[in-house]
Structure 1
């Protein structure tokens, strides 16, 4: 989950904004050129689709419409993956990728405003995702789509994969959340240890007072906790600065006003956090009648690999695989998009090769 981690780090944008607007524009132009889809069978579409009674932003990109179709479920909540398109451009040579700004996120948030997001619950996002899935199947003429979820999106992704395996060729989770009804607390105790080692007595006292049960936290406590988790770990903090903040700042798809709307959407969407952490994934079920994959950052301190591995070990699926991405904490797929793509091609593509691709 991303929440206000980026908002708290957004001060990093202030420096470049003061003196490097010209450099920003050069980078954005370079990325825009990189993103051009010129292949004869390619697709590059974007716009608002009426989903769940409101207009929601959806893009479809890929170099060959005949490739498997991915539906991305972004993190946050409220943190659109559209900022990472330049980093994941190579993915589009092998997959047609549908990226969706959920209600509360990025262009969907900016277009409808905070009062126009409608019902804002996980159940509503679940229904939105199903509606979008049917739209994509019709628009692209495919029987099934491949679910690829990261961070907060994995909460929604697991529910979709369990409840509607007939719609999805496989599930791929990265930065996989295992909330366990708020009782999964290995990341919490690891944070306490880091704060104690660093002599951060004030922060240590604050986190200790919150207690390990995330289901009892307020939105403000959840946000403060996530910020401390990221900033107290060197690899996570480096990823925040070099991957997330840079992707946001140099995004060719976002004006300066668009960046502000992006951050406002994340802040707005934090209200989903208390509901999300109460989910108990094991109680909801570990049976997945479709290929099931988890690709986790080996050093992820926000959604640690051990709980994800324990959950994975309990999963019953026709095909399943688990892999660690070295030199990666949270945002593993975006820190090392080449390694993530290699896992998709060597593990996922063979598992879905026999699925009917078109209708």
Structure 2
């Protein structure tokens, strides 16, 4: 878990709601050599005395900061927040190799090294973790290995058994297609089946891309589009042009990570975590389903755990939610 700070660059300063510069705040881009690879992160804080939060992005391989910035979530008001780009994408772009098991183990080692770097520079014994989607997998393994480094496990888009999650997604799409009497969709979905190689199934990918957006259940819906997603990355002032290109280049690494995602079942591999656990899950999320987030949560042993289903509908159809209730 070796690390060595290489350089840091100041970014345009944080401003308050009146557009005035917050002179007590920090906003910088930091490069650190972590386990032999140059990796980058963005650190923001309105007050460095606030607790430290490490945001672990999903994707796999999709840095979160441009989307957080565009959505004006402003975590920096409450935490000294670090947005770390994982090995293989963005500020941390590199070829991650072809050994899937070692890749995930390496990413967990990287996460723990980033944790120790943040603990050192901000003089905190423990930090908070926030994992999103794929990031919850890395977060779970890191906390299971070194719980003494963390205050709490916070997650959204929680992974459970991803094969079962994909089966739930396909079942949802079929239900909506029948409800809408969309004969073309029903015909396209009929021959599609989910197995351990679902991430290689182009037929499923085509159905997923078209109908999850159309029917609701993905991040793309009537108020958010792929164009807005791309714009968030293009206009982000924290990334230079090469780093923006490297986000796209890093997509070639994603298939290796998706293979591992298809082979793991956190509901069996992580039976307990020794810190408080907080999971915020979209009730209408069919990229990482509520059913599988609940499966992980319900079997997990922890000193304290709270699950918060978030109900923001993406479709007007009166379908049953995953918990059986109706809109």
Matched, 1:106 2:90: yes
Deviation at 1:125, TM superposition (A): 0.6
Segment of structure 1 superposing worse, 246-255 or 219-228: 219-228
> Is this contact kept in 1: 2:160–2:293, CA < 8 A?
yes
Deviation at 1:309, TM superposition (A): 1.9
Deviation at 1:179, TM superposition (A): 1.8
TM-score with structure 2 setting the length? 0.78
- Aligned counterpart, 1:44: 27
Give distance in 2, aligned partners of 1:271 and 1:165.
Answer: 27
Unpaired runs of at least 5, structure 1 = 1-30, 330-359
> Is this contact kept in 1: 2:267–2:295, CA < 8 A?
no
Structure that is richer in helix per residue: 1
- Aligned counterpart, 2:148: 166
Matched, 1:212 2:191: no
Unpaired runs of at least 5, structure 2 = 1-10, 315-327
Where in structure 2 are the equivalents of 1:158-197 lying within 5 Å?
A: 158-179=140-161, 182-184=163-165, 185-196=167-178, 197=180
Give distance in 2, aligned partners of 1:255 and 1:278.
Answer: 35
> Is this contact kept in 2: 1:194–1:232, CA < 8 A?
no
- Aligned counterpart, 1:233: 215
Segment of structure 1 superposing worse, 169-178 or 84-93: 84-93
Matched, 1:124 2:106: yes
- Aligned counterpart, 2:57: 74
Give distance in 2, aligned partners of 1:194 and 1:262.
Answer: 33
Matched, 1:94 2:81: no
Q: Deviations over 1:232-286 (max 9, x none)?
A: 3346322344763442243223456544332222343232101112111122122
- Count of residue pairs the alignment pairs up: 292
CA change 1:119–1:45 in 2 (3 A) is: farther
**Equivalent position SS for 2:47:** coil
Partner of residue 274 from structure 2, selected from 252, 274, 289: 289
Give distance in 2, aligned partners of 1:153 and 1:200.
Answer: 37
CA change 1:149–1:224 in 2 (3 A) is: farther
**Equivalent position SS for 1:306:** helix
CA RMSD between the two structures: 3.0
- Aligned counterpart, 1:278: 263
CA change 1:195–1:255 in 2 (3 A) is: farther
TM-score with structure 1 setting the length? 0.71
Matched, 1:145 2:127: yes
Give distance in 2, aligned partners of 1:123 and 1:271.
Answer: 13
**Equivalent position SS for 2:92:** helix
Q: Deviations over 1:180-232 (max 9, x none)?
A: 6x34421221123334546364x66665545222x233546475465246323
> Is this contact kept in 2: 1:229–1:302, CA < 8 A?
no
Give distance in 2, aligned partners of 1:226 and 1:263.
Answer: 21
Where in structure 2 are the equivalents of 1:58-73 lying within 5 Å?
A: 58-73=41-56
CA change 1:312–1:276 in 2 (3 A) is: same
Q: Which runs of 4+ in 1 moved over 6 A?
A: 116-120
Segment of structure 1 superposing worse, 118-127 or 51-60: 118-127
